[in-house]
Every structure is written in C-alpha cells, then in structure tokens.
Chains A and B, each alone.
Chain A
Amino acid sequence: MRVTLATHGGLAAPVRAGLSPDVVDTDALPESATAELCRLVDAAVLAASAAAEDREAHRSAPDAMSYSVTVEEGGHSSVLVQSDRDMSPEFAALLRWLKEHAVRE
C-alpha cells in the first residue's frame, strides 16, 4: 500500500505548490506500523463518510490549507480530502502520522 499526502493552499500557497508530496510505502514499514496506518486510514474514512457535502466551508476560511490523502493498493486508489477549517480528529491523527513517517518525493 502506498499513501501520498499532498497539501494545497494556505498563506504560502505558491511556495507549497512547488514542494513534493509526502509519501509512505508500507513495503518499507514494519508490520506493526502498517497495521497502525491502516487503522488510522479506516478511522479517517469513517469520520469523513459520516459528514455531508459542504464545499463552501472550505472557502469561508481564508488561508486554510486543504489536504488530499491518496491511498493506492492493488490497482485501486481512493482520495480523502479535508481542510484546516473542519478536519476530523481522526483525519488530524492520520495527518500527523504521515508527517512523522513520510519521505518526500
């Protein structure tokens, strides 16, 4: 499984646009870390799925950043998007874990 974190917008949006995304490949992780990552992804997806579409909320917080987490596994990929304005605690936990473990491409 490969998980990529891309960060968009924010006060320094043009600077950020030039930076590489953060990437975690579970092939390079111990089994326990992979299990922890899967748990965090599942929790973030579950929290996101429970909420309703509210695109305007992203716009109503100037300088808030948006984050897209892409999970690729077995030819299938899904993308989870949240922002500073309204991220769930579960997504925040995933974000932190990815920042701590990722290597920049």
Chain B
Amino acid sequence: MTSELRHQCITPPYLLERLLKSDDGEVRQAALNTLLTTAHLRGERAVRAAFPGVATPGNARRTIYDCRNTTSLPFAVLARSEDRPESADVSVNRAFDKLGQTRDFFQRVFARNSIDGHGMRLDGYVHYGYEFANAFWNGRQMVFGDGDGRIFSDLTGSISVVAHELGHGVTEHTAGLEYHNQSGALNESMSDVFGAMVEQWTLGQTAELADWLIGREVFTPQVEADALRSMKAPGHAWNTKKFGKDPQPDHMSNYLNMPDTYEGDWGGVHYNSGIPNKAFYLTAATIGGYSWEAPGLIWYEALKASNSETRFQEFADTTYQKAGELYETGGAEQMAVLGAWQEVGISITGVSAGLARARSRTAGQKGDPLATVRSLTAQVQELSRDVAALKGRLTASR
C-alpha cells in the first residue's frame, strides 16, 4: 500500500493517529503548534492573493540577505543594502552586483522601473538551504543556493541565472504566464531570453559573437557540460555519463508531452522552452546586431501583450504583429520573426508557409544590404552613446 502526503495534503491515517493521539504531551503540543502556524501561513497567503496587483515601492533598491544555510527567509540576516559597503562574502556581492546589472538593463533598455515597473525593491537571499543546487523566484524574492559542490556551483556566479530569476518576476507582473504546459514553457523561455540579453548587454556582445548559453557557470569544473541550456542549439548543452543528454527540443515536431505534475516538470516547462528559445536566437541572428535592440523589444512587447494562457502559436503571432508595428510591415525585422518561427515548426497565422520560407530566405541572406545597414546603424548609435557618456564624464570631472 502506498499513500501520498503532499505538503498540505492527505495524511496516512495510521501515522496521523499515532502522532495526534500520542501520550507524550510534547508531541501533542507540537501538533497544536503546527496547526496554529500553518493556519497563520494559509491566512497570509490568502491575504496576499487578494491583492495581486499591489506593488512594493522601493526605488528598485537592492537588499541581500544571508540565509546562513537554513530555509527560513524571515530569519535571514541583512548582508548588504544600497547604503552599506561591500560585504566580505563573495556570494553576497555577486548577487548584489548582478541584481543591479539586471535592474539597469530593464531601466535603460526597456525603460522599465524594476520587476513590476513601479520600482519594486529587489530582495535576494543567498546561502539558502544545505547544498541547495537551485535558484528560484518565489513571487516576491529571489533565492540562491550554494550548489552541492559536486555537480552544481554557487548559483550567484551566473548573470544569466540571476537575470533569468528576475525575469520570472517581470513575466509575473506582465503576462502572468501560467507555469505549466506551453504557457509555462513560454514563461521559462522569456526568462532565458532576458538572461541571455542581460549577459550580452553587460558584455557588449552582438548576437553573432554571443554563445547563447544559459547558466554557463553553474556546473563545477568536474562536470563536462557547457551550460544548463543552449538557446542557439537546444538539446546540445550537455551530454554526460552522469546525467545523460540535454533533452530540449528545438522544433515542434519534437515537442515533449509530459505530465502536468511536479514529476513531469509541470508539462515540461524546462524542456519545451527550447522551441521558443531557438526562435528568439534565430530572429536575433537574422536581424543581426544586438539582441536587446529590435529582437528584444519585439519579444518584450509581445510578452506585455500576452496573457496567462498564451501558447506558442499565439505568442508567435504576437511577435510577428509587434515586429510590423514597431518597425515595418514586411520589413527585415518582421521577416526575420516569420522565418524564425517557421524554422522551429510554427507558421504565423494567416501567412502561407511558402511565402514565409521565401521571405525568410531573403531576410536571412548573408550580405543582405538592408540587414547590413541596420546592423551598422545600431553600432553607430551605440558608439554615439558611448561618446556622449564619455563627454559627460569629462565635463563632470572638470
């Protein structure tokens, strides 16, 4: 006989009876305390759920807390804030700096004031748990583990991972994509898109020069794996004896229908994200230049126009529509989007496959004069910004 006890779930009667009818007064008291605590937590969750749109004003201030290898966020200690000096703890400083880089990216590139667009404070928790090999967004805070030291390293070491987690917050405050099946895979993909863009932005890399890897730094040196995921080549980030081969699909024909359960990664959200990831990479590679410019803006605007149940097809259609609105109907950007989705097995609604192939070939040709001009224009604009910034510094120093 097997019974399942989900947290907040069904109790095996034999075990519960034994504990609740214990002769030991301490056990009975523990039962009572637990009941009171969980009732309090349930109430807190219910109150928060009643105000989903409430922002947390804070001028996007960063605060890093140290969990001291416990799983308790309320009892974590303050480790660094905007008005405190650098910490002696490298994880604290890395989380602080990377949250700042990600915050600056959203502000300067998309004119977005923090996660919620209203200056939400950025609270990061490091040293969470014991050998905790993960990082996650819990709806209000970002949590980072130290890794297990055998396979995974400290998760604060990767800018693409930090930006990925903060990206979940942005998605929650925009489309609110439900975290399961196709909407969940889109949610994951958007976080990878943000992760890649923030890394490339901090390095000043063009789409051509970037490696498009997510979480390059998360594995220990003993593990022969490039990264957690490859947006350029989903399914090829790792192939090891220890944990097998990267299973991410890069085409709808290989979409993985997995159970919508925790065992099934909520319908394979970390697996099928490979498909829209590849579409973003192809769009950026075809347009050329910086991923955070035209490709990033198209994806970001499409995210804002999406809803909690948006699936791949609808999102692809929205990116095509946004590319036409933001740039030019039938222009290089829109054709790049069209061709990218076509290549991963998604045809834009209302556009014939033949036309899509023909147009995407034109848009993707190396030496395409229009693409070259756009790429050069972007580079000139970037140089102009650098020169303006240098002039500002010189003026300030006089």
Contacts and interface: CB of A to CB of B under 8 A. Distances in A.
B386 to A, nearest CB: 34
A81 B178 contact: no
B1 A77 contact: yes
Given A65-B134, A89-B71, A60 B179 contact: yes
Contact of A81 (B9, B172, B215): B9
B7 A48 contact: yes
Interface in A75-103: 75-92, 95-96, 99-100
B9 A13 contact: no
Contact of A62 (B8, B19, B136): B136
A48 B179 contact: no
Nearest to A70: B2
Nearest to B223: A15
A91 B7 contact: yes
Contact of A88 (B7, B16, B45, B265): B7
A61 B4 contact: no
B165 interface: yes
B129 A81 contact: no
Given A80-B5, A84-B134, 8 more contacts: A9-B265, A11-B164, A12-B228, A51-B9, A53-B10, A55-B6, A85-B136, A88-B38
Interface of A: 8-19, 42-43, 45-55, 57-66, 68, 75-92, 95-96, 99-100
A81 B7 contact: yes
A100 B1 CA distance: 28
B96 interface: no
Interface of B: 1-12, 15-16, 19, 27, 30-31, 34-35, 37-38, 41-42, 45, 70-72, 129-131, 133-139, 143, 151-152, 155, 161, 164-165, 168, 172, 178-180, 184, 187-188, 191, 215, 218, 225, 228, 238, 242-244, 246-248, 262-263, 265-266, 269-271
Given A63-B135, A89-B72, A45 B8 contact: no
Contacts of B31: 46, 50
Identify whether the interface residues of B are mostly helix, strand, loop, or mixed.
mixed
A64 B41 CA distance: 18
A91 B215 CA distance: 29
22 contacts: A11-B135, A11-B270, A12-B218, A12-B270, A15-B151, A18-B242, A18-B244, A48-B5, A49-B15, A50-B38, A51-B9, A54-B42, A63-B168, A65-B134, A75-B1, A78-B15, A80-B7, A82-B6, A82-B7, A85-B138, A95-B130, A99-B131
Contacts of B5: 45, 48-49, 78-81
Contacts of A16: 243
A15 B238 contact: yes
A81 B152 CA distance: 23
Nearest to B142: A63
B228 A15 contact: yes
B242 A9 contact: no
Contacts of A12: 133-134, 152, 215, 218, 228, 270
Given A54-B45, A87-B71, A59 B178 contact: yes
CB-CB nearest 8 A-B residue pairs: A18-B243, A66-B262, A82-B7, A49-B11, A51-B8, A63-B136, A18-B244, A13-B270
B346 to A, nearest CB: 22
A79 B8 contact: no
A81 B136 CA distance: 18
Nearest to A63: B136
Contacts of B4: 78-79, 81
B136 A46 contact: no
